[in-house]
Amino acid sequence: MDSIINILILFIVIMNWNIKANPINTRWNMHDYQLLQQKPFQIIANDDKELSGKFLHITDIHLDSLYIPNSDPSKFCRRYAKKSKKNKSGKFGTIKSDCDSPYELTNSTFLFLREKFQDVDFVIYTGDSLRHDRDPKISLTEDYVKWGHKLIVKYIMETFDIDKTKFIPTLGNNDEWVHNQLEDGPNTLLSNLTQIWAPLKLNLTSDFIKGGYFRQDINSKLSVFSLNSMYFSNSNDQIKDCNHENSPGAIQLKWIRYQLENARKEKRKVFIAQHIPPLNSDGESFYHVCYVKYVQLLGRYSDIISGHFTGHTNLDSLTFVTESGNIADYRLLYLDKDEHPSIKSNQNIVLVLNNAPSIIPVNNPGIREYRYSTSFKTFGILTDYIQYYSDIKKANKIGKIEWEIEYIASKTYGIKELSPSGWAKVLDQMKDKGSKLWRVYLKYFTVSTN
């Protein structure tokens, strides 16, 4: 017993030394170091272990520790302009700019999560914790990347009781040493994240060390797949397309198929989470072969995939997996605000891909709460979601953030549950260019940002 205690003490000393021995030589270092050293506030445990049928989806925090209120947005809200009229960055963020999220926004977000959502069963977080590497005067370093991930984990641990509410992250395209670039695993980033995410008590097996993906079981009837979209992304120059057998994308596809097959045999429902959606306003986000094979997997296993969740675009958007006639050939239909869905009403929708708004205030920040069935026969089926948002312009004006409900899916779209058949009826109503539903979709597409 004494030897075990000694080992634990030695481990704590080493971990503490590692933080102190790697200071980041910038003007924000001491402030952030002190934040990391603060003790988390206490979470009151709930003895009720039954599932509530609720979970959260949050994405794209993009915390920038260098953000300065009332600075110049053209200088990424980090420096002042000589002309005072240009210094107009907001306390809680600056809409429609290249600035990232200030501490004030991040703090208020996690405070809202702490106060409002202690009864959720789990949280899906679809990545991009770090600021963008846009500022030529202050580039990212590996130390900063590690520090950023550690700080977000600290926020999470202070907000949720991990033994009660599982927090399931994915890897974003701004979470690497270099923006959009991640070489085949095992690599130093995935190795570091394995240690940094250790407090979250996730199922990070050798699959994560090699590929950056993992399966987290909520219970025996529901699993969440945290995928690594960086190994599909056509912006990642470090990898090859999925027609190369040993490419990390091809290997991940095999893992997905294996896990989906097991889920089908065990009659488990599956939620899929990843950062980058396969299709957006710019077209295919994945290498083409990866894209085609991934979409076919979604279609073939749509009977057990109950939900698909992404971020990255800062938009509230829908994409449908459709089946072509009687042939098992699946395609994606993305509802883009610039292209009215003048499509045939007999589209056979088999699955819906949900892309949620971000915390970073490119548009107004958003948080989404999903509801799912906990009944025996329909367990895991999505029944509704509530979209929360904050009006950043208003917050900057009045000096505080007010999170409120933007809309409720079932009421807004007139559907009883978020099933493919329900969304097919919505899509049919949107065909008319003057339809109310299409106008509503356009409003929420950019999170009610004027």
Residue 137 backbone dihedrals phi, psi, to 5 degrees: -85, -20
Q: Quick one: pLDDT at residue 434?
A: 80
Task: Compute how many other C-beta atoms are within 10 angstroms of the C-beta atom of residue 2.
Answer: 6
Q: Quick one: pLDDT at residue 9?
A: 43
The yes-or-no verdict on residue 7 having pLDDT over 50 is no
Q: Quick one: pLDDT at residue 341?
A: 75
Task: State whether the Cα torsion 35-36-42-48 is positive or negative.
Answer: positive
Using alpha carbons, select from 311, 319, 218 the residue that is nearest to residue 269: 218
The yes-or-no verdict on residue 20 having pLDDT over 60 is no
Q: Do 349 and 322 form a contact (C-beta atoms < 8 A)?
A: yes
Burial class from Cβ neighbours inside 10 Å (0-12, 13-18, 19+) for residue 88 reads middle
Task: Compute how many other C-beta atoms are within 10 angstroms of the C-beta atom of residue 48.
Answer: 9
Q: Tokens 């005072």 sit at which residue? A: 84
The yes-or-no verdict on residue 24 having pLDDT over 70 is no
Alpha-carbon separation of residue 134 from 138, 139, 140, 356 (angstroms): 8, 8, 9, 23
Any alpha helices (H) in 301-407, and if so which ranges?
A: 392-398
Which of 16-30, 70-84, 243-257 comes out lowest in average pLDDT? 16-30
Lateral strand order in the sheet of 214-219: 214-219, 222-226, 269-273, 305-310, 348-355, 317-323, 330-334
Q: Quick one: pLDDT at residue 23?
A: 32
Q: Quick one: pLDDT at residue 129?
A: 98
Q: Encode burial over 66-75: b for 16+ CB neighbours within 10 A, e otherwise.
A: bbbbebbbeb
The yes-or-no verdict on residue 86 having pLDDT over 90 is yes
Q: Quick one: pLDDT at residue 252?
A: 98
Using alpha carbons, select from 271, 215, 275 the residue that is nearest to residue 385: 271
Provide the 8-state DSSP code for 311: -
Helix (H, G, I), strand (E, B) or coil at 229: helix
Q: Quick one: pLDDT at residue 450?
A: 80
Helix (H, G, I), strand (E, B) or coil at 294: helix
Q: Quick one: pLDDT at residue 46?
A: 34
Using alpha carbons, select from 240, 244, 232 the residue that is nearest to residue 298: 232
What are the tokens at 174?
């701004």
Q: Quick one: pLDDT at residue 343?
A: 63
Q: Quick one: pLDDT at residue 34?
A: 41
Q: Do 345 and 431 form a contact (C-beta atoms < 8 A)?
A: yes
Q: What is the mean pLDDT of the chain?
A: 89
Q: How far apart are CA 204 and CA 215, in angstroms?
A: 8
Q: Quick one: pLDDT at residue 324?
A: 80
The yes-or-no verdict on residue 387 having pLDDT over 80 is yes
Q: Do 54 and 92 form a contact (C-beta atoms < 8 A)?
A: no
Q: How far apart are CA 132 and CA 143, in angstroms?
A: 15
> For residues 329 and 316, which has the higher predicted lDDT (pLDDT)?
316
Report pTM.
0.88
Q: How far apart are CA 312 and CA 44, in angstroms?
A: 33
Alpha-carbon separation of residue 150 from 7, 165, 180, 192 (angstroms): 23, 19, 20, 10
2 band by pLDDT with thresholds 50, 70 and 90: low
Please count the residues of the chain: 450
Provide the 8-state DSSP code for 161: -
Q: Quick one: pLDDT at residue 220?
A: 93
User: Within 13 Å of residue 16, how many CA atoms lie on the same side as its CB?
Assistant: 8
Alpha-carbon separation of residue 208 from 77, 191, 199, 203, 392 (angstroms): 35, 9, 16, 9, 37
Q: Where are the beta strands (DSSP E) in 157-311?
A: 166-169, 214-219, 222-226, 269-273, 279-280, 283-284, 305-310
Using alpha carbons, select from 259, 261, 258, 237 the residue that is nearest to residue 247: 237
What are the tokens at 223?
């699993």
Average pLDDT over residues 408-433: 92
Using alpha carbons, select from 111, 65, 71 the residue that is nearest to residue 91: 71
Q: How far apart are CA 102 and CA 66, in angstroms?
A: 8
Which of 10-24, 60-74, 223-237 comes out lowest in average pLDDT? 10-24
Using alpha carbons, select from 155, 158, 187, 160 the residue that is nearest to residue 171: 187
The yes-or-no verdict on residue 291 having pLDDT over 50 is yes
Average pLDDT over residues 295-315: 97
Q: How far apart are the first and last CA of the chain?
A: 63
Helix (H, G, I), strand (E, B) or coil at 331: strand
What are the tokens at 124?
């899906």
What are the tokens at 55?
């979970």
